[in-house]
Amino acid sequence: MDVSWTLIELVAEAIAAITSLPAPANGQIRAVPDDRTVRYYGTIGLLDRPIAMRGRTALYGRKHLAQIVAIKRLQSAGRSLAEIQALWPTLDDHSLARMAGIDIAGKGRALRKEFWKQAPARSVEPTPARPRPVAERHPVELRLELAPNCMLTVALTGDVALSTADVHALRAAAAPLVAELARRGLAAQNQETP
């Protein structure tokens, strides 16, 4: 049976999952959500409806936890709630789980328990890593506004987790491109350094 949490328990799980994330750069954004914030996410459509009701108490599952963590990850990367709302319909469960680092299906814990019961592998030869089939790869698209009217889109495949430092490095690497576009009059030079 899958887990179910009350709102208070869901918030506690979210706080435990979010504490490893970098703090948001914007001081107006809370680093961790409270129950009121989570209710607000539900009101604006960022959080699915509860999976069940126990009397008047709503129950939430792993997908809700993944949604909260993903929202906070996106906010810490500088995304606004409006941008996240626009992104939300494009995410499937697999992409959401990868973005949040939360096992939505709930199979991970059971597999870890069973791992210790398995006999050790007899072969000492390392098995060559086989590339995953293309059908299993889910592209991650990162859009960076480099200058007014100048957007850089980077599509990445495979298991990718971008940090804030990665985004800053990509902006810095794109600086010569922005300078060339500005020199040709195709984009305005951004006043701040990337």
Q: What is the pTM of this model?
A: 0.54
**Residue 133, phi then psi, degrees to nearest 5:** -60, 150
Structure tokens at 34: 């409270």
Burial class for 180, CB neighbours closer than 10 Å (0-12, 13-18, 19+): exposed
Cα 12 versus chain centre, distance: 19
Does 131 or 87 have the greater pLDDT score?
A: 87
Angle, alpha carbons 91-93-97 (nearest 5°): 100
Domains and CATH numbers, the chain: 7-111 (1.10.1660), 135-183 (no CATH)
Q: Is the pLDDT of residue 185 over 90?
A: no
Q: Is the pLDDT of residue 127 over 90?
A: no
| pLDDT averaged over every residue in the chain | 75
Query: What is the crossing angle of helices 93-100 and 62-76, to 10°?
Result: 60
The least confident of 16-30, 32-46, 120-134 is 120-134
Query: What pLDDT shows up at residue 160?
Result: 65
